[in-house]
Amino acid sequence: MKRKEFIKKAALSSFAVLLGTDIVFGSKILKGYTPIALQGPDDPFTLFKKDKGMVVLNDKPWNIEAQAHLLNDDITPNASMFIRNNGLVPEGIDANTWTLTIDGESAAIQKTYTLAELKSKFKHYTYQLAIECGGNGRNEFDPPAKGNQWTVGAVHCASWTGVRLKDILEDVGIKSNAVYIGFHGVDKHLSRDPKKEPISRGCPMAKAMQDETLLAFKMNGKDIPLVHGFPLRLVAGGWPASVSGKWVNRISVRNKVHDGTKMEGAYKVPCNPVAPGEKVKEEDMCIIESMPVKSLITSPKTGAIISGKSLKIRGHAWAGELEVAKMEYSIDFGSTWTSCPIGKPANRLAWQHFSATVQFPKSGYYEIWARATDSRGLAQPMLLPGWNPKGYLNNACHRIAIKVK
């Protein structure tokens, strides 16, 4: 069966199934609902212009991750950028009529800008920003954590161009009791219920007012691809990617912690450490802010068989709000570590690049482990960090397997 045909069948089946189980819901959906899968040509790689090596974790909603070796570029190209969707990719977006509204209890006034106004009225800035899914590495937790089982590839560092959120907020005026901002986008909930938002998260005012927090309209110098948030995306480097809301048309300035969808029950970790598998009450969970220090060996691809005794490696390291201060690697499971140079970030919140030439004493099986340390002196653990119910913040060392002939 051809892939396209298969998707078509799968989508139609949902109708039949719904009609079988719940006629009212089914007949409502039947009218005027063209599933996204039916619209695109062929497969997600063509649909979203992704590298064929990307791994599809879920096709409805689309959740697709990179592999370490696909992330070798200093600035991640679209082809290697992971996709995390909570709902359905919006359809029929018109940038010419797009507006952004600032509202909320703590906005001095409610104000709406057209996209053209945003672009002409405010100064443009470009930053390279490391954006990582809070659940990157979830697949390693034991007991397993619920959700998409991301391995290592839910991170990217693209170049984003846009206007500073703080410039807009200052133009609108914010009251002194402002605590948090919350974004709203136009993606649809999986159930197609128009009253449900798939995701509406945000960040405290301090993060919202940072220079690097942008409302972006360009990614790597071009219009943002649809699946990554065209025509307007909030980008907040160093924080869980879920803060970087896509298809944004409204930002609410709140007088309390934003209470949108996925602010409760998600993107939180226990405020105090817990034993693996322990139940944690919602009120004992704290919202994730900065992501922890982490690194990836992006070259060579794991599984290389080499004949010489030396090998060049390359990769990136990042540290949420902080900078990476030290980079090391080990070929003996942590008995010894060798430092290697780590470059300065292109700008604050960009990932940093490292490279090294690794020497092997004799032939055999090796693993190269990489370990970054942030400017506070916190290093990546070799083992999994503290277990948490939703499987966030796994920043354990990345490693690749090598055979020396």
Partner 1 sequence: MESNFPTSLRIVIIRAMLKLAGLLLLILIAGGVYLIRDIHLKNAAYEASIAKTVVEDTFNEEEWDKIENGIHVRTGLIDAEGLMTVVSNCTSCHSAKLITQNRMSAERWNETIKWMQKTQGLWELGGNQEIIVNYLVTNYPSKKKGRRMILENIEWYELEN
- Among 67, 72, 78, 86, contact with ligand HEC (rule: CB under 6 A): 86
d(CA 328, CA 293): 13
Residue 116 partner contact from ligand HEC, partner 1, none using kind-dependent CB cut-offs of 5 to 8 Å = none
DSSP alpha helices (H): ranges in 340-400?
A: none
Q: Smaller CB distance to ligand HEC: residue 147 or 225? A: 147
- Among 26, 35, 40, 147, contact with ligand HEC (rule: CB under 6 A): 147
280-291: string of b/e by CB count within 10 Å (b at 16+)? beeeebebbbeb
Q: Smaller CB distance to ligand HEC: residue 190 or 378? A: 190
Minimum CB distance to ligand HEC, residue 302 (Å)? 27
- Among 44, 50, 54, 61, contact with ligand HEC (rule: CB under 6 A): 61
Q: Smaller CB distance to partner 1: residue 257 or 382? A: 382
Per the CB < 8 A criterion, the answer to whether 193 and 174 are in contact is no
d(CA 78, CA 69): 15
Site string for ligand HEC, 240-279 (x = CB under 6 A): ----------------------------------------
User: What are the residues whose beta carbons fall under 8 Å from the beta carbon of 146, sequence distance 6 or more?
Assistant: 389, 390, 391
Task: State yes or no: residue 191 binds ligand HEC (CB under 6 A).
Answer: yes
Task: State yes or no: residue 190 binds ligand HEC (CB under 6 A).
Answer: yes
Per the CB < 8 A criterion, the answer to whether 373 and 364 are in contact is no
Residue numbers of the site for partner 1 (CB under 8 A)? 1, 5-6, 8-10, 12-27, 30, 56-61, 140-144, 146-149, 189-191, 193, 196, 265, 300-308, 310-312, 367, 382-384, 396, 399, 401, 403
Q: Smaller CB distance to ligand HEC: residue 86 or 388? A: 86
Per the CB < 8 A criterion, the answer to whether 61 and 88 are in contact is yes
Minimum CB distance to partner 1, residue 367 (Å)? 7
Phi, psi at 42, each rounded to 5° = 55, -130
Both structure tokens of 244: 């970087």
Give the closest residue to 385 by CA, choosing from 294, 289, 267: 294
Residue 86 partner contact from partner 1, ligand HEC, none using kind-dependent CB cut-offs of 5 to 8 Å = ligand HEC
